[in-house]
Structure formats: structure tokens, C-alpha cells
Amino acid sequence: MRVLKSTEWWWAGVAILVALLVGNAEAQAFEVDDLSSRVEGELLTADARIDYDLSETAIEALENGVPLVIRQNLVLERPRWWWRNVQIASRERAYRLQYHAMSRRYVLTWLASGESRSYRSLDALLAILGRIEGWPVVRSARLDSDRDYRLGLKTALDLDALPRLLRTVAYVNSDWQLASQTHHTEVTR
């Protein structure tokens, strides 16, 4: 039996890491298609369109009773060219998706309020989840009229909310790495 040298172990580790990264690079299944801002009364609000494309593995788990939690993160920042951007506000929404086999309905629950709605199809639920309108960001009085601001929106499947045994697999399986890139837009007032 041949023993691997330390350099061979190193290259084997690099090959495994590259394989994991390549697998995860293709896993982006959520996409923020549009993000905009507007002033409603005294509030700056955000509107967005998100395309949620769950993997077959996630759909199978959902339909077998595993609830999925999706988080939407919205950040308002003031860009600076010489240092990191200044974060003005940060908002998060979390939703739980469930499938009820007896009624054959998909249920969307807003975790902050506990409000639930049911849908006949997963596509209908994901279409509603992907439509954001009038999400309050910050009071418009907090924004200086002579400065530029930008919004950033990212959404992802919360792997930490999965059952413990499934969570272990989800961290290394690209079918579970469902997230969008952060989509930025300039704030209009």
C-alpha cells in the first residue's frame, strides 16, 4: 500500500475544494430581477421582483414535510469612495414555506407576524414571495438631500433553519446553496 506524501494530500485537498466551489457556483437559483425605491409619505420604501427557482432536492424535501425558511435582506447605505460604505438601515424579512399533504396546499408564513396564506401551487406561492411592494426602509427625513444613497437586496434559503441532520448535508450539497447575489440600485427621492 502506497502512502501519500504531504504535497499529494495538499493537492487532493485543493481538488476537493475546487470541486465544491464549482458546484456551489452553479447553485445560484434566486435572482433579484428588479429593485427600486420611492418615497411614500414620510418613508423611503423599496419595491422588488425576485425570481425564486428552488432545486429539485429542496422541492422534494418541502413536499416531504421539511419546512424551508427564506430570508430577504435589505440594506440602505451611503457610498464612500475612500472607505467602506456607511450603513444607514438594515431590514430583514423571514418566511417559512410548508407543504400540507392532506390539503395539498403550500403555506407561506411571515415569521415576524405569524400571518399565513395558503396556495394551490408552489409556483403561485413563489410568485407572491418574489413580489415586494412598499417595504419601509427608513424615514426620508434621515436622508440628506445632497448625498447619494443606494439600496442592496439579497435573498437566501436559511440553511440554519433546516432540521439538524439535513443541515449537515445542506452545507456541502450545492442543491441547497440557494441564494441571490446582492442587487444594488441608486435611491431615488
Note the pLDDT of residue 7: 55
| Eight-state DSSP code of residue 143 | S
Domain boundaries, the chain: 27-186
Residue 165: in which H helix or E strand, if any? helix 164-170
What's the pTM value of the predicted model, to 2 decimals? Answer: 0.82
H or E segment to which residue 9 belongs: helix 6-25
Taking alpha carbons only, the member of 175, 159, 180, 186 closest to residue 54 is: 175
Nearest to 111 by CA among 60, 56, 70, 65: 70
**pLDDT block averages, 10 residues each, the chain of length 189:** 53 43 57 96 96 97 98 96 92 98 97 97 98 96 91 98 94 96 91
